[in-house]
Chains A and B, each alone.
Chain A
Amino acid sequence: MLRRMKASRIALLVTLLLAAIGLALLSRDETGDAEPELPTLHRGLSSDPESIDPHKARSVQAAEVLRDIGEGLVAYSATGELVGAAAESWSISDDGLNYTFKIRPEARWSNGDAVTAEHFVFSMRRLVDPATAAFYAQAIAAIVNAEAIIASEMAPSDLGVEVIENNALVITLERPTPYLLSLLTHPSTFPVHPGSVAEHGTAFTRPENLLSNGAYTLDAWEPGSVLKLSRNEQYWNNAETSIEAVNYHVLTQEMTELNRYRAGEIDVTGSIPPDSFEQVREQYGDEMHIAPYLGVYYYGYNLTKPPFAGNSALRQALSMAIDRETLVEKVTGRGEAPAYSWVPPGVDNYDPRRLSYADMTQDERNAAARRLYRDAGYNEDRPAQFELRYNTSDTQQRIALAVQSMWRDVLGVETTLINEEFQVLLANMREAEITQVFRSSWIGDYNDAHTFLSILQTGSPANMPRFANDEYDDLMRRAAEQTDPLARRLYLEEAERVLLGEHAVIPLYFFVSKHLVSPRVQGWGDNVLDYHYSQHLSLATD
């Protein structure tokens, strides 16, 4: 008893000790100096960037921050047009294989150094260098020797980019790539300062070392919490930058982000929670920005195994039995558009093909679906049975439940829902052994139909359904050879028609970007790539 008392006393002592340390720490640096705060834009970010090194980042969130602190050869203007950024002008050879960019003479790094063509060459070589282990190295796969370098068969210095006189560089391509300019707005092609990399090694990304050639510099990064940016005075277009400072708040929970927006702590949210959508629309209707986004949400079939291998009637039946309108209105309900194509609307120079039954009513589709279902060899006594896999998330769950319900009600299909953690689902999809129907999506990397159609070519690593159709591959190959944009477009559209005819996938809806933008933020322009450079925005002064 005595011993127990002493032990308890000691436990209390230790507890109080820890509490005292904790509170001492608390009072020391939590008193917060009353530093006059610059007018700051507060943006919500749904996860930390993996890295602020443009070659080591990959996520959409990282790209958002990188677009503020860096700049590539070209960029999008506030109205969504492709304009020169670090490059003041460019020219393309007739065969479409050589792009010459003239670097802007007034382009500067945040330490005053000029941005030169050499910096871009250095950076692109670094991107494909196997030692960098860059996620997006294949973004510039079209450049001569890029793929060989990535596979360690050639040296980075063999990359088809070269400096020429007058601070210009030439990019030589293996094959004509009409979407190259759009690709060059992607942060993986942004330059890094060679001197800085040489001097600091991997520590060149630390906020105190990082040099920026974009509108803002990175002042601080508290992982899991916030990234603080402030104006880069040396930026060539600094005179046009209105906002002094930008804070990106890392908020992984959508509800938390919404609460902070409502409390006035965030000016722009990265998303809107699906469960509160109606309430948000009622309360903040004018502040909501919903716009088409370059992404498609789909259910894929595993085409290498039964019951879907070789059974296009079943595949079509299932696709028809889904009421996409109800799905987007009631289940996802955030302004998404039902998808009857593979390529989303709004893509440059492209007119998506549509599924044959896009114009039928749902009742007509259901009837046709039932016929096809029977043709496929199934009926009430012998229902189709398979597994539907999706990753843990409220939205995916709701959609899966809804689709399961629709298939059961219309056709009598027995679907087993399997909710897997994202990593697990990914692993399963890649192996394509146990998957049957699975949920997936694809977000475009650049504004061209190719980014959507290319992933379903035979052998593409992102070809989760394992679609392998000779006609499709052939059409895609021919499209890649065209220099005439119109001819290329016709081949691509034909390829999409083949894809849709085979019902290799069930496109469900097209993504939308959803943001809450506070009325005090001006200059917000919705666009299909969801690029919102902070330098195009301004804060209304009260």
Chain B
Amino acid sequence: MSAVGRTWRRVRQNRVIVISGGLLTAVVFIAVIGPMVSPNDYLQTDFGNILQSPSFAGMHLFGTDDLGRDLFVRTLLGVQVTIIVALVASAVSLVIGVLYGAVAGFAGGRVDAIMMRFVDTLYALPFIFFVILLMVAFERNFFLIFVAIGAVNWLDMARIVRGQTLSLREREFVQAAQLTGVSFARIILRHIAPNLIGMVVVYVTLTIPQAILVESFLSFLGLGIQEPQTSLGALIDAGVNQMEGALWMLLIPATLLALILLCFNFIGDALRDVFDSRRSR
């Protein structure tokens, strides 16, 4: 069995990954199916029924908010938005980070030194400031949220990739490729990248929670997703304001958020175990 096959088997057999993965899939599934099945939509206001606690009446399984809108559908849509934002943001930071890190690691020498010096400085700059500036400068364009979060999150990825690339560069098969005249880009793509996948996968599962939290911070500051669209962060923020009168408005999205974050964290940890022990063999 190939190395990839072995790794995959270990992943499949890891209980934590299976359970967390299963939960996440279930959440996503419900988030997609739920709104389709429910008789309510996320827009419809109903001033006669504001702040109703969860019940089967009117199929308001999660209750209604302060405008009488159905929270079941809104929450599930919020889950969709949150996960999409997280995935796209991670994808953005993945692409930028991997490219940057691979180039730096492979080039080595002064180019590498300069590139990493830049990363070092950016690293501890309060990236939240730049995200805020970006959101303010470009008027909370929905698309931009992903880009903003992703673009300031690529640093860790770049560092790791660069480290890995550096050590891989010294390995025989890469040197052999160089000797036989394979191009720079080809070497990165065919030889280095596949070896990075392990680290990268682990990393992505850990940046996703970060991205989700940043989006919720932005919603709190009023710079996140725009009404009537919503995200878990926005729902939670609204819920905090109703904490004493309508606790479900806070509890339900907060629990879902916690669940999603935990699952990603667990999967990330477990994957790290899997890949670490693979490497040390």
Show the binding face of A for B, using Cβ within 8 Å: 255, 273, 275-276, 278-279, 326, 330-331, 392-394, 397-398, 400-402, 404-405, 417-421, 424
Contact = CB atoms under 8 A, between A and B. Distances in A.
B50 interface: yes
B241 A276 contact: yes
Of A255, A278, A401, A420, most buried by chain B (CB within 10 Å of CB) is A401
Nearest to A275: B241
B245 interface: yes
Given A392-B222, A405-B43, A417 B227 contact: yes
Given A392-B222, A419-B227, 11 more contacts: A255-B240, A275-B66, A278-B245, A326-B47, A330-B50, A394-B241, A397-B227, A400-B227, A402-B67, A405-B44, A405-B45
Contact of A419 (B50, B226, B244): B226
A419 B44 CA distance: 18
B228 interface: yes
B139 interface: yes
Contacts of A400: 227
A273 B43 CA distance: 24
B182 interface: no
A417 B228 contact: yes
A276 B50 contact: no
B67 A398 contact: yes
A154 B45 CA distance: 57
Contact of B47 (A255, A330, A419, A420): A330
A326 B43 CA distance: 18
B242 interface: yes
Contacts of B222: 392-393, 421
A424 B241 contact: no
Contact of B67 (A393, A401, A418): A401
A275 B242 contact: yes
Contacts of B66: 275, 398
B67 A331 contact: yes
Nearest to B46: A405
A421 B43 contact: no
A440 B168 CA distance: 61
B272 interface: no
A401 B136 contact: no
Given A275-B66, A401-B67, A421-B139, A255 B241 contact: yes
B191 interface: no
9 contacts: A273-B241, A275-B241, A276-B244, A276-B245, A394-B238, A397-B227, A405-B43, A405-B45, A421-B139
Interface in B10-59: 43-45, 47, 50
Interface in B132-185: 136, 139-140
A424 B241 CA distance: 26
A91 B34 CA distance: 74
A398 B50 CA distance: 12
**Ranked 3 nearest A-B pairs via Cβ:** A275-B241, A405-B45, A330-B47
A392 B136 CA distance: 12
A279 B50 contact: no
A78 B231 CA distance: 48
A428 to B, nearest CB: 10
A404 B43 CA distance: 10
A363 to B, nearest CB: 16
B87 to A, nearest CB: 24
B68 to A, nearest CB: 8
A405 B222 CA distance: 22
A419 B139 CA distance: 9
A400 B139 CA distance: 19
Interface string B218-259: 000011001110000000001011101100000000000000
Contacts of B44: 405
A326 B45 CA distance: 12
B227 A420 contact: no
Given A331-B47, A419-B227, A424-B139, A279 B241 contact: no
Contacts of B139: 420-421, 424
A400 B244 CA distance: 25
B45 A401 contact: yes
Nearest to B69: A401
Interface string B100-142: 0000000000000000000000000000000000001001100
Contact of B136 (A404, A405, A418, A421): A421
Contacts of B242: 275
A279 B240 CA distance: 14
A331 B244 CA distance: 18
Contacts of B50: 330
Contacts of A421: 136, 139-140, 222-223
Nearest to A329: B47
Contacts of A419: 140, 226-227
A402 B47 contact: yes
B47 A279 contact: no
A424 B223 CA distance: 13
Nearest to A254: B241
A494 B242 CA distance: 45
A354 to B, nearest CB: 24
Contacts of B245: 276, 278-279
